[in-house]
């Protein structure tokens, strides 16, 4: 980044500082990961200059011969990764992918049944502060108080009473897998569309370590930057391009089309302008990486690390929502430790350990305070940490949380964090 340093040392300096922060923090935010240098190089390319509204072979601009090939490669690799018939790699983010889902399957005022935000759901699944909750009539299901797992009887009861137009699955803070078969049976019974948002678990699903939603859902949306470890972005997929038997029509022509056509137009021109071809190239690179056998090894390690971290926390008397984990994250209810999520997050940040405060089911605190923290293994597993390292991290976290006000303890732990990070180098190419 020599040129940037010469021309704009202020921005360069801040990127350098952020690189340093990423290199020397223990990054445990469950939605984050470290993209490879190849992914970052593709994102930093001249493809950012290109307007390419439309799809490969059907663009509204000239000069698309190379971006067409790039986008086709991204689509083909994504299809191979998920055994999908159709994908759209253009959504700028997870939220944008979800906007296209709503535009396709719902009309303003239609009813949605989704997972409660405070039980692990996402803002775009009907929260009153999000377009989804503003535009549609959102209702929620949640987890059982005792089990911490989604209560399928509650889903069925609510679905029967409400007759929602769409049921959403998917979460940002849920540690168990989903039973798509049962969801699909409920959706079929009440005549609802079924949508899975696999933003968090896309990498684990690609590695076939979690159940596959594609055979059961009308549509699947995702981000590409979480467990999937690509550039920041979104994507839409269809397991099979089901015939549109319910006769949903295209907004302008009124013609009945297949889901793939309706979703393509919901992305563009429905909710977006020109696609980010530099990010799409980076997606293609990341999907290429995900098709390699060592990606499965990585995802297995992500899960194993989360399991051993969970077991260690429980050994130290921490209360895990649902009593464990089947995926890449653990959710800790700190109430028995007399702590809030806010206090824990801030104390850990001073010790160079990054986690996020998180609502736990039936939380008694506000979203700004919360009773929990969410801890994920994808990012540090990318750096090469194994089971023993994660158990050591749990010890460090416990040391900080036992004395959340002690700056001495935080400084001492920060020293250990630095030593650990030095053993697992990350990025050197900003200054190199």
Decide: is 132 part of the binding site for ligand PLP (CB under 6 A): no
Q: Is 318 a catalytic residue?
A: no
Compute the Cα dihedral for 162, 164, 168, 173 and give only its sign: negative
- Window of 87-95, 256-264, 393-401, 404-412 that interacts with ligand PLP by CB under 6 A: 87-95
Decide: is 122 part of the binding site for ligand PLP (CB under 6 A): yes
Q: Is 17 a catalytic residue?
A: no
Residue nearest to ligand PLP (CB): 94
Strands (E), 200-316: 219-223, 234-238
Decide: is 200 part of the binding site for ligand PLP (CB under 6 A): yes
Decide: is 31 part of the binding site for ligand PLP (CB under 6 A): yes
What is the DSSP code string of 360-377? -TT--S-TTT-SEEEEE-
What's the rounded Cα separation, in Å, for the pair 401 and 266?
Answer: 47
- Catalytic residue selected from 19, 32, 41, 51: 51
CB-wise, 93 or 104, nearer to ligand PLP?
93
Q: Is 226 a catalytic residue?
A: yes
Q: Is 223 a catalytic residue?
A: yes
What's the rounded Cα separation, in Å, for the pair 420 and 392?
Answer: 10
Among 54, 94, 230, 376, binds ligand PLP (CB under 6 A): 94
Task: Say how many Å lie between the first and final Cα of the chain, rounded.
Answer: 8
Q: Which two tokens stand for residue 328?
A: 């890449």
Decide: is 93 part of the binding site for ligand PLP (CB under 6 A): yes
C-alpha distances out from residue 425 to 31, 67, 428, Å: 21, 33, 8
CB-wise, 93 or 260, nearer to ligand PLP?
93
What's the rounded Cα separation, in Å, for the pair 78 and 245?
Answer: 26
The closest alpha carbon to 372, from 309, 417, 329, belongs to 329
The closest alpha carbon to 246, from 103, 106, 138, belongs to 106
Kindly state the helix (H) or strand (E) to which residue 182 belongs, with its residue range.
Answer: helix 180-190
Contacts of ligand PLP in 145-174 (CB under 6 A): 170-172
Q: Which two tokens stand for residue 200?
A: 């968090």
Decide: is 124 part of the binding site for ligand PLP (CB under 6 A): yes
Among 26, 47, 81, 95, binds ligand PLP (CB under 6 A): 95
Binding mask 179-198 for ligand PLP (x = CB under 6 A): ------------------x-
Decide: is 345 part of the binding site for ligand PLP (CB under 6 A): no
**Applying CB under 6 A, what is the total number of residues that bind ligand PLP?**
15
CB-wise, 175 or 308, nearer to ligand PLP?
175
Q: Residues in the site for ligand PLP, rule: CB under 6 A?
A: 31, 93-95, 98, 122, 124, 170-172, 197, 199-200, 223, 234
Catalytic residues: 51, 53, 197, 223, 226, 232
């Amino acid at each position: 980044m020599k040129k940037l340093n010469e021309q704009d040392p202020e921005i360069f300096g801040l990127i350098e500082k952020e690189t340093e922060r990423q290199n020397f923090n223990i990054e445990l935010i469950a939605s984050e990961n470290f993209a490879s240098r190849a992914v970052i190089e593709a994102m930093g390319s001249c493809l950012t200059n290109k307007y390419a509204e439309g799809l490969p072979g059907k663009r509204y601009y000239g000069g698309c011969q190379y971006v067409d090939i790039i986008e086709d490669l991204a689509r083909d690799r994504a299809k191979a990764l998920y055994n999908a018939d159709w994908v759209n790699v253009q959504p700028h983010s997870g939220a944008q992918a979800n906007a296209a889902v709503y535009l396709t399957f719902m009309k303003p005022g239609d009813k949605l049944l989704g997972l409660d935000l405070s039980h692990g759901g996402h803002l775009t699944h009907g929260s009153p502060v999000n377009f989804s909750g503003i535009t549609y009539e959102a209702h929620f299901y949640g987890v059982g108080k005792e089990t911490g797992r989604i209560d399928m009887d509650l889903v069925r009861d609510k679905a029967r009473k409400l007759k929602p137009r769409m049921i959403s699955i998917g979460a940002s803070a849920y540690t168990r897998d989903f039973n798509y078969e049962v969801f699909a049976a409920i959706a079929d019974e009440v005549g609802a569309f079924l949508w899975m948002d696999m933003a968090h678990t896309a990498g684990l699903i690609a590695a076939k370590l979690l159940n596959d939603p594609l055979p059961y859902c009308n549509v699947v949306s995702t981000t590409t930057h979480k467990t999937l470890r690509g550039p920041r972005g979104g994507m839409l997929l269809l397991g099979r391009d089901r015939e549109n038997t319910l006769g949903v029509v295209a907004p302008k022509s009124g013609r009945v089309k297949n889901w793939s056509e309706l979703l393509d137009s919901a992305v563009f021109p429905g909710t977006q302008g020109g696609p980010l071809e530099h990010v799409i190239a980076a997606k293609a690179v990341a999907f290429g990486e995900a098709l390699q056998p060592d990606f499965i090894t990585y995802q297995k390690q992500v899960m194993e690390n989360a399991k051993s971290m969970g077991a260690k926390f429980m050994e130290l008397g921490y209360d895990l929502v649902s009593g464990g984990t089947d995926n890449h994250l653990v959710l800790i209810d700190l109430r028995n430790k007399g702590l809030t999520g806010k206090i824990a997050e801030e104390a850990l940040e001073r010790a160079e350990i990054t986690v996020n405060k998180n609502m736990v089911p039936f939380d008694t605190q506000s979203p700004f305070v919360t009773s929990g923290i969410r801890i994920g293994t994808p990012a540090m597993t990318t750096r090469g940490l194994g089971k023993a390292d994660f158990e050591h991290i749990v010890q460090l976290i416990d040391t900080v949380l036992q004395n959340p006000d002690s700056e001495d303890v935080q400084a001492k732990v920060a020293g250990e964090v630095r030593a650990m990070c030095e053993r697992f180098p990350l990025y050197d190419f900003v200054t190199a």
